[in-house]
Structure 1
Amino acid sequence: METYWIALVLVSAATHPLRDLVLKGVAHPVSCYVGVSLTWVIMAAVHTLVMGHDLSLPYEVWPFVAISALGLTIYYYGTLSALRRGNLSVYYPIIRSSPIAIVAFSWLALDQHYSWFTLVGIALVLLGSLMIQKLPGGLLHDHRAFALASMAMLGSAAYSLSDAHAMKLTNPAPFLFFTYTLVTPLLAGIRAWEDRHLSAPFMGVVRGWAQAPVRIEFAGIVSYLSYLFILTAFQLGAEAATVSAVRQASIPVSVTLAAIILKESRFLHRIGWASLIALGILLITLSRG
């Protein structure tokens, strides 16, 4: 069973960077992510009907819906704002470094214990993730972008922990439907706030969707399917910190795609540190075996 959920997470990690890659460089990224979020609502509703599940949630799941929606909103806004200022392969690794926050919170608040093998693996993953973005002359090239990426990382940690607990109580599709029903207006509100100087600020959301409808739909479909694998892993009993660490396999994928498609520089430096991430993931995998 451990091997099965690790395989699911690795498949998810291989496809996850496609969303950010497809939407990198759009003129109104928040508007595009409103479209992605709306796509998730539609897909979750259809998925629920196809699977024959009831489109309702137990009462005890609703706090997790609220936490996940807030965490996702922070994650999306921090991600988009950071990537607006820097390269995908630089700030994506920071954004995906949520295992350290998850481990700390789980240990302090949830009395969760980890083997030394697992902790060493997570440490190697985080070291590789941080060093990938090291530039000559200093670790933090853009302090504001780093802060935004760190904010996104904390949002990711929050929704990962919340989702892991929710999957013990309900099915993925209805949970995603209600979570993204909340996320969509929150992101639309952020976009309207950015355009508050306009006479019709919500028109910015509409114009953002219109700029790249095919890219938005593709990003929405790919990311929805990718995250279904993660929620399935949680249903199988996977723990949030180890899932988030194994998801770091998406970093070498993002580095490779950014170098090939976006022509970002320093590929060999980054892929070298990505190998350390792979070693950390291997240790986590062995510790779960």
Structure 2
Amino acid sequence: MTPTAIGLILVSALLHAGWNLIGKRTAQTVRFYAWAMGLGMLVFSPLLLLTWTDISRLPADFWYLLLASGLCQTLYMTGLAKAYGRGNLNIVYPLARALPVLIVPLVVFLSYGQSQLMTQDLVGMALIMLGSLALPLSRWRDWHWRDYSTPAIRWVLLAACATAGYSVLDSAAIQLMKQQGMSAFAAGSSFVVLQAAACLLWMLPLIRWGLGESLRAVPDFGWTLLAGSFIIGTYLLILVSMSMVSEVSYVVALRQVSIPLGVLIGVFWLRESISLPRLQGLGVMLLGLVLVSL
């Protein structure tokens, strides 16, 4: 992985931890994420003016990928909102970030029949996953399978599977845009706005008729606007970095550097408690991150 790609991913990790903090503190509703996506899309929409001619020439396959990605983003936001309403940031956030590390390589292998990951990468990803299993625990002697069957964890699983889905779909869409002659930045900057629009196409009917939430009032305009800008900006950096690597699994794994940031924010800002198993789990996850990034 190139230093540029690593740098983009690290900056995106800071932004990602930031908007998850805002989401946890401000509101745990899907409505909040819908407003955030909409406002973020408006902030970054001028980027489409630079690439609209190229976008209009993209094949139908691209638009199918975009719609599917929007659905996965909707499921991700829904799972995240529901999980935050039922669990602490220092548990929900690391699990939601760590689980896709194993899911994405599996999806890539099943989709393409091959993988470019080396043994070191697989060991690192396994360590990230093992570390995440310790996060719901307060004490090792209290371990029980029921710790992983709470409502919050079930919503986390939905968010993690959806993350894996949109990661693979978005990587394919970005590569298709590059094949049409678009640069990494042009492809990433335009796709991130289009994806937000596709997400809203799925999210608004879900909120109105599936969840029964009202869209009339913004939860908190200032924080929602900031969160939306962070959401779109974060993924813009990720989409550009996706175009610089040989396999999307690398990006998904290294993005998990945001996990310790999320936990530290939960402990020092939200005053959430942290146990020894959680600290040890974070240590194992960090070791796995180092192996993946080397």
Give the TM-score taking structure 1 as reference length.
0.88
Q: Aligned to 1:169, what secondary structure does the other structure show?
A: helix
* Distance of aligned partners of 1:244 and 1:20 in 2 relative to their CA distance in 1, 3 Å threshold: same
Q: Tell me whether 1:149 sits opposite 2:156 in the alignment.
A: yes
Residue identity in the other structure for 2:133: L
Q: Which moved more, 1:212-221 or 1:163-172?
A: 163-172
Kindly indicate whether residue 280 of structure 2 is the aligned counterpart of residue 272 of structure 1: yes
Query: What is aligned with 1:191?
Result: 207
- For 1:133 and 1:112, the matched residues in 2 are separated by 33
Task: State the one-letter code of the partner of 1:103.
Answer: P
State the partner residue of 2:290: 282
In the alignment, is residue 249 of structure 1 matched against residue 257 of structure 2? yes
1:134 to 134, 137, 151: 137
State the 1:238 CA deviation.
4.5
Q: Is the 8 A contact 2:37 2:231 kept in 1?
A: no
**Is there any run of 5+ residues in structure 2 with no aligned partner, and where?**
178-186
Q: Distance in 1 between matches of 2:47 and 2:165?
A: 25
Residue in 2 that maps onto 1:109: 111
Once the 2 structures are TM-superposed, how far is the Cα of residue 111 of structure 1 from its aligned partner?
A: 1.7
Identity of aligned residues (%): 27
Q: 1:68, 1:179 within 8 Å by CA — same for their partners in 2? A: yes
**CA deviation after TM superposition for structure 1 residue 185, in Å:** 3.5
Partner deviation per Cα, 1:203-242 (whole Å, 9 max, x = no partner): x1122x1x30000000011122111111111111352212
CA contact (8 A) 1:25 1:84 kept: no
Between 239-248 and 156-165, report the one with greater CA deviation: 239-248
Over 3 Å counting, the alpha-carbon distance change for 1:124 and 1:185 in structure 2 is: same
Residue 206 of structure 1 is aligned with which of 216, 231, 234?
A: 216
What is the CA-CA distance between 1:132 and the residue it aligns to? 2.0
Instruction: Provide the C-alpha distance between the structure 1 equivalents of 2:201 and 2:172, rounded to a whole number of angstroms.
Output: 24
Give 5+ residue unaligned stretches, structure 1: none
- Amino acid in structure 2 at the alignment position of 1:109: S
Alignment of 1:163-178 (within 5 A): 163-170=170-177, 171-178=187-194
- Is 2:100–2:164's contact at 8 Å kept on the other side of the alignment? yes
When the two chains are superposed, the root-mean-square deviation of aligned CA atoms in Å is 2.0
- For residues 99 and 182 of structure 1, the distance between their equivalents in structure 2, rounded to whole angstroms, comes to 25
What is the letter of the counterpart of residue 8 of structure 2?
Answer: L
Q: Is the 8 A contact 2:138 2:275 kept in 1?
A: no
Residues 241/57 of structure 1: CA separation in 2 closer, same or farther (3 Å cut): farther
Return structure 1 stretches of 4+ with deviation > 6 angstroms.
none
Distance (Å, rounded) in 2 between the aligned partners of 1:120 and 1:195: 40
1:46 aligns with 2:46: yes
Query: Who is 2:95 aligned against?
Result: 94
CA deviations on 1:169-195 (whole Å, 9 max, x unpaired) are 221222222222121142222222356
| One-letter identity of the residue aligned with 1:17 | A
Q: Give 1:59-74 correspondences, 5 Å limit.
A: 59=59, 60-74=61-75
Is the CA contact 1:134–1:140 (under 8 Å) kept in the aligned structure 2?
no
Aligned residue type for 1:74:
L
* Structure 1 residues 123 and 213, CA gap change in structure 2 (3 angstroms): same
